[in-house]
């Protein structure tokens, strides 16, 4: 009986020793397989290479007057169908919408425009604070934007495309949800050549020009905004101002 138990114990120890010797080998094989899978996914991908572009807001400069003690939230813009994408859109004379290949914006059009407006208002609006609608801080004013044009346009008379940016803007107060100003800001900028790099540069010029209009008209509307009444509603003796340039 004791001899049988000893043999059983000896056999169990031998199996344990073989398993211990095999474990590192299995770990190395598993790691090699895992690394091989990662390398295959990274270097043998069927996805085409894409260049990613971003746009800057207007550069910093002195505001048109003293810092206004107000806070503004730039809501996420609404975007016309066909332009609500990360792809860089181009429009042809027959109203055919297409997109540049192997390239895209750093975000969808709504986020790109919101980023340009927030940066531009911060850099030159002369406002106490400017934030996107995801910040969560209380603001007195909200800027709503509809993007109706954000594409490079080819015309029949020129081989060079032209970046076209058009924003329909409404400024209102959070407290009573009433608009205090509505205006259109738009700009066109021709590309220097028929290359993607030149088209993106034209987009930035047009976006900054339109954003500069938004900054100037937003500040002017806030400066002449009617005061808030005792009930929290604004004292309005005239219709909402509408400005179009």
Query: Tens digit of pLDDT for each residue in 86-143?
Result: 999 999 999 999 999 999 999 999 999 999 999 999 999 999 999 998 877 889 999 9
Mean pLDDT of 41-69: 79
| Full-model pTM | 0.75
Going from the C-alpha of 70 to that of each of 170, 173, 177, 240, the distances in angstroms are 17, 11, 16, 20
One domain for residues 133 and 216: yes
Instruction: Point out the least confidently predicted range of 18-22, 40-44, 101-105, 151-155.
Output: 40-44
- Check which CATH number belongs to the domain holding 181 and give it: 3.40.50.10610
H or E segment and range at residue 164: strand 158-173
For the stretch 188-217, pLDDT in tens is 999 999 999 999 999 999 999 999 999 999
| Same structural domain, 26 and 139 | no
- Per-residue pLDDT at 231: 53
What's the pLDDT score for residue 47? 61
Cα–Cα nearest to 203, from 165, 229, 240: 165
Contacts from 190-194 at CB under 8 Å and sequence distance 24+? 190/158, 190/160, 190/161, 190/162, 190/163, 191/152, 191/160, 191/161, 191/162, 191/163, 192/160, 193/160, 194/159, 194/160, 194/161
- Is residue 95 domain-shared with residue 37, that is, in the same domain? no
Q: Which residues pair with 127 in a beta bridge?
A: 68
What total number of domains does the chain contain? 2
- pLDDT for residue 85: 97
| Same-domain status, 73 and 32 | no
Q: Average pLDDT of 75-82?
A: 97
Mean pLDDT of 10-18: 50
205 compared with 46, residue with greater pLDDT: 205
- Res. 42: pLDDT tops 80: no
| Strand residues in 65-116 grouped as ranges (E) | 68-74, 78-79, 89-91, 97-99, 103-105
Which is more confidently placed, 27 or 169?
A: 169
End-to-end CA distance of the chain: 104
Q: Are residues 157 and 104 in the same domain?
A: yes
Top pLDDT among 50 and 182 is at: 182
Query: Which pLDDT score is estimated for 186?
Result: 98
Report the distance separating Cα 50 and Cα 111, nearest Å: 19
Residue 111 CA to residue 184 CA, distance in Å, equals: 19
Do 35 and 131 belong together in one domain?
Answer: no
pLDDT for res 36 = 39
Domain containing residue 67: 51-244
Per-residue pLDDT band at 230 (split at 50, 70, 90): low
Can you tell me which residue has the tokens 């209009």? 213
Same domain, yes or no: 34 and 86: no
126 in the same domain as 72: yes
Q: pLDDT band at 62, cuts 50/70/90?
A: confident
Same domain, 118 and 153: yes
The confidence score (pLDDT) of residue 229 equals: 57
From 29, 47, 65, give the residue that closes a domain.
47
- Asked if residue 29 and residue 62 are part of one domain, the reply reads no
């Amino acid at each position: 009986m004791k001899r049988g138990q000893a043999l059983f114990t000896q056999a169990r120890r031998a199996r344990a020793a073989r398993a211990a010797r095999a474990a590192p080998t299995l770990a190395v094989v598993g790691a090699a397989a895992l690394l091989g899978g990662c390398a295959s996914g990274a270097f043998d991908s069927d996805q085409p290479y894409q260049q990613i572009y971003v746009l800057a807001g207007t550069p910093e400069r002195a505001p048109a007057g003293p810092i206004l003690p107000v806070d503004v939230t730039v809501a996420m813009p609404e975007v016309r169908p066909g332009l609500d994408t990360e792809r860089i859109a181009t429009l042809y004379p027959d109203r055919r919408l297409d997109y540049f290949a192997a390239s895209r914006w750093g975000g969808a059009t709504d986020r790109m425009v919101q980023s340009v407006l927030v940066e531009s208002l911060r850099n030159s609006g002369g406002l106490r604070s400017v934030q996107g609608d995801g910040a969560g801080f209380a603001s007195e004013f909200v800027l709503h934007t509809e993007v109706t044009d954000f594409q490079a346009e080819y015309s029949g008379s020129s081989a060079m495309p032209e970046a076209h940016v058009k924003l329909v803007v409404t400024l209102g107060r959070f407290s009573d949800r009433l608009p205090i100003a509505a205006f259109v800001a738009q700009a066109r900028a021709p590309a220097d050549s028929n290359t993607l790099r030149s088209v993106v540069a034209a987009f930035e010029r047009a976006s900054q020009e339109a954003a500069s209009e938004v900054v100037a008209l937003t500040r002017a509307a806030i400066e002449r905004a009617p005061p808030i009444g005792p009930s929290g509603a604004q004292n309005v003796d005239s219709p909402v101002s509408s400005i179009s340039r």
